[in-house]
Structure 1
Amino acid sequence: MRRPHLFVDISAHGFGHLAQVAPVLEELSRQLPALRLTIRSGLPTARLQARVAGEFTHLQASSDFGYVMHDAVRVDLAATAAAYRRQHAHWQALVDADANLFRSLQPDLVLSDVAYLPLAGAARAGVPAVAMCSLNWAELFAHFFASEDWAAAIHRQMLDAYNGAECFLRATPGMAMADLPRLRPVGPIAALGRDCRQALRAQLGCRRDERLVLIAFGGVNKQLPIERWPAISGVRWLIPEAWQVEGPGLTAFEPLALSITDLLRSVDAALGKPGYGTFAEAACNGTPLLYLRRENWPEQDFLIDWLHRHGRCREIGDADLLAGRLQPALEGLWRQVAPPTPRPSGAADAAAALLPWLTRVGAI
């Protein structure tokens, strides 16, 4: 009998979309061991393999670009506007191409986090599709471009694609999404890491009083002048290898050969930006978080409000971050009382919503 086939489209706008999808795919594969996965994403195959257990076919392509970024916290609005206008100038041809792809692959279901093009292509091909995310590009597009005279037609095509899906699984915490009537909320989605604290500290030769702080901005680069920061006694920074910075109290984290979730679970604090993967995984793994607000990013208020209720966190300013004036913020963070750790129930919620399309007669 034919194996159930799920086509998954994962945005490469940072790593948060993959962080949302991977636990759902793990839960689906646990319940459906014969599940066949095809993943389309602009992320490298190795990055997908680090998060998605089991076999899958990777189509190396991006069906969305999200937003063009100056860096991890600043959007390039002019470049983003130009990119949307280029894409939608050929909208119908792009939808036809995706429809033809789905007719060829014949998946039982398309899952998108959170590109709208595959939703439109699936609808044209007569294939059921579901969207899932804490945000959607239509709501962000309206936030940034609603006043532009060219934007209305593009926004309508985006909304039509999202609303043509069977439902939109909104991860907690998430944006309001008032324009999407087929909304179906699910719980927090987060991978739980292994507590490797003792082994990690032994590997690094940490002193008894030394604390580890992971710097991770979610897949969009933000190089910090960490080589000019004043030393903070008792703090070691775990930094991206791509920064190519060496010095006392600095260690690149990739050569440590631990997954990002294991690292997050095992450090004393993390530093990053408001993004779903970072915030949900910090809270669910009980890791204190310093965060730098993003510039004019409407999703972040939902994330920040939720993390202040469910985790230990503290905001830092850009000037303090650039100057490395972080000792007071870290000390204040470590003085906070830890609230009850939230349960990442969203993967099971989402899997339950998707299973009916993957367990119909003839697909198992």
Structure 2
Amino acid sequence: MHLCFSITAHGFGHGAISCAVINKIKQNYPESKITVLSLLPMTYLSSRIKGEYKLIPLGNDFGMLMHSPIEVDRKASALKYLALYNNWDQAVEQEKQILQAIKPDCLISNISPISLAAAISLKIPTASVAPFNWAQIYQAYCLDPLEPEKNLAKSIFDKMASIYQRVNFIYKPLPSVPFNPADEIQIASICDVPAQSSLRLLHKLPSSVKKIGLIALGGLPMQLDLKNWPRIEGWHWLVDQQEDQLRGDMSQLSQLEMPFLELLANSDLILTKPGYGTYCEIAVLAAHQKVRVITLERPDWPETPFLNAFLRSRVPLAEVSISQLKRAILRGIIEQLEGLDYPQIGLCEDGAQQLTEHLMKQL
């Protein structure tokens, strides 16, 4: 069985989902051949995918253009989608030629409408796996009825929506944003399972460290004002920020030379933002009743209410603005979180296993 995964390069969350599915397929069906179409870095993919795969660095799917991990560039995104719409046939033809050359038995998209359109035109079975699709996100940010371009924007939305509606198997992992619920296959959340905590990280940090805080804002850079971070006795912060901001109670992630999932599993507190991959990895850690979460406000992102409800039911969580990430305010939030009891909820099921069993049976 030859499976082709088309993975958007919009952040690492989509990559985390797809790589977890690839690993489950390779585990259950070791003879499967995997090809990946993506502009995600090969270093990232190889750090996640276990076993052999072929990468074709191609992707017409860009998701949304961002000012930061929590702020969408609406205007630039709208113009980018207009350019894609005007170049739609050429983009589909480019990916059709790739698929004709590699001849996969199924195209699994997360969540490119171009890849799906190419596969559908070639009568290749299609599946999508993502908590939302780009038509939904485009609708939220670019389909404004007050704008004079509304008719064209509606055409762009309809173009994408029509492709997603023709997919053979639409897998929506928990927590997801419903689109056409009657056609969607609801499955459990999908992520790689972080290893249990170990002493390896503590050995790399000062002996005085008692608690570890991890800043995990995804694949897009975001500058934080660490000079106004509170100093809390026994706490040490793992950060991905400019060196001139670092203090003695901070370590640069890249210098630790440890997998992100291992850092996640060893942390007591995680500062993040609403995003599928990290949220689900944190939810798995809830079994140890150790980690607590501070998440940045992201009220306009369509996933946010679903994601926050999902994670809040599993771990102590505080939602804050960037302006609250300083001195006494942040210290108070951390102290409040440490005083919260853990929610009583069952363990996460394995959505990657559910998807693999269903899809391979259908194929």
From 291, 300, 312, the equivalent of 1:308 is 312
Residue 355 of structure 1 aligns with which residue?
360
Residue 319 of structure 1 aligns with which residue?
323
2:204 counterpart letter in structure 1? Q
| Correspondence 1:112-123 to 2 at 5 A | 112-123=109-120
2:285 counterpart letter in structure 1? N
Could you tell me how far 1:181 is from its partner in structure 2?
4.3
Residue 81 of structure 2 aligns with which residue?
84
| Correspondence 1:170-189 to 2 at 5 A | 170-178=172-180, 181-189=182-190
Residue 194 of structure 2 aligns with which residue?
193
| More displaced stretch, 290-299 vs 168-177 | 290-299
- Secondary structure at the aligned position of 1:304 is classed as helix
Is 2:226–2:246's contact at 8 Å kept on the other side of the alignment? no
Separation of aligned partners in 2, 1:106 and 1:302:
37
Alpha-carbon distance change, 314 to 197 in structure 1, aligned in 2, over 3 angstroms = farther
Is 2:223–2:241's contact at 8 Å kept on the other side of the alignment? no
| Correspondence 1:102-251 to 2 at 5 A | 102-146=99-143, 147=145, 148-178=150-180, 181-207=182-208, 210-240=210-240, 245-251=245-251
| Correspondence 1:326-345 to 2 at 5 A | 326-339=330-343, 340=345, 342-345=347-350
Could you tell me how far 1:132 is from its partner in structure 2?
0.6
2:76 matched to 1:71?
Answer: no
Separation of aligned partners in 2, 1:158 and 1:206:
54
2:172 counterpart letter in structure 1? R
Could you tell me how far 1:232 is from its partner in structure 2?
2.4
| Correspondence 1:2-17 to 2 at 5 A | 4-17=1-14
Alpha-carbon distance change, 324 to 15 in structure 1, aligned in 2, over 3 angstroms = farther
- Secondary structure at the aligned position of 1:160 is classed as helix
Could you tell me how far 1:243 is from its partner in structure 2?
5.7
Residue 362 of structure 1 aligns with which residue?
none
Separation of aligned partners in 1, 2:140 and 2:212:
38
- Secondary structure at the aligned position of 1:279 is classed as helix
Separation of aligned partners in 1, 2:38 and 2:317:
31
Residue 17 of structure 2 aligns with which residue?
20
Show CA shifts across 1:105-153 (max 9, x none).
Answer: 1000111111111110000011111011011111111122222231111
- Secondary structure at the aligned position of 2:313 is classed as helix
1:326 counterpart letter in structure 2? L
Is 2:197–2:266's contact at 8 Å kept on the other side of the alignment? yes
Separation of aligned partners in 1, 2:138 and 2:92:
19
Separation of aligned partners in 1, 2:71 and 2:296:
11
TM-score for both structures, normalised by structure 1:
0.92
2:159 counterpart letter in structure 1? Q
Show CA shifts across 1:169-191 (max 9, x none).
Answer: 0010011213x642101101121
Separation of aligned partners in 2, 1:196 and 1:295:
32
| More displaced stretch, 12-21 vs 95-104 | 95-104
Choose between structure 1 and 2 for higher RCO, CA contacts under 8 A separated by at least 6 residues.
1
1:172 counterpart letter in structure 2? L
Alpha-carbon distance change, 173 to 244 in structure 1, aligned in 2, over 3 angstroms = farther
Show CA shifts across 1:237-264 (max 9, x none).
Answer: 1001666643221101222222111111
| Correspondence 1:44-55 to 2 at 5 A | 44-55=41-52
2:203 counterpart letter in structure 1? A
Residue 58 of structure 1 aligns with which residue?
55
Separation of aligned partners in 1, 2:6 and 2:137:
19
Separation of aligned partners in 1, 2:346 and 2:239:
26
Could you tell me how far 1:327 is from its partner in structure 2?
1.2
Gaps of 5+ in 2: none
Gaps of 5+ in 1: 359-364
| More displaced stretch, 245-254 vs 107-116 | 245-254
Show CA shifts across 1:43-74 (max 9, x none).
Answer: 11011011111111111122211111000110
Is 1:68–1:79's contact at 8 Å kept on the other side of the alignment? yes
Could you tell me how far 1:166 is from its partner in structure 2?
0.5
- Secondary structure at the aligned position of 1:7 is classed as strand
Separation of aligned partners in 1, 2:31 and 2:242:
38
Alpha-carbon distance change, 236 to 36 in structure 1, aligned in 2, over 3 angstroms = same
1:156 counterpart letter in structure 2? D
1:7 counterpart letter in structure 2? C
Could you tell me how far 1:158 is from its partner in structure 2?
0.3
Question: Aligned-residue CA RMSD in angstroms?
Answer: 1.8
Could you tell me how far 1:197 is from its partner in structure 2?
3.5
2:347 counterpart letter in structure 1? P
Residue 361 of structure 1 aligns with which residue?
none
2:330 counterpart letter in structure 1? L
Separation of aligned partners in 2, 1:328 and 1:15:
31
| More displaced stretch, 21-30 vs 242-251 | 242-251
Could you tell me how far 1:99 is from its partner in structure 2?
1.8
Is 1:284–1:341's contact at 8 Å kept on the other side of the alignment? no
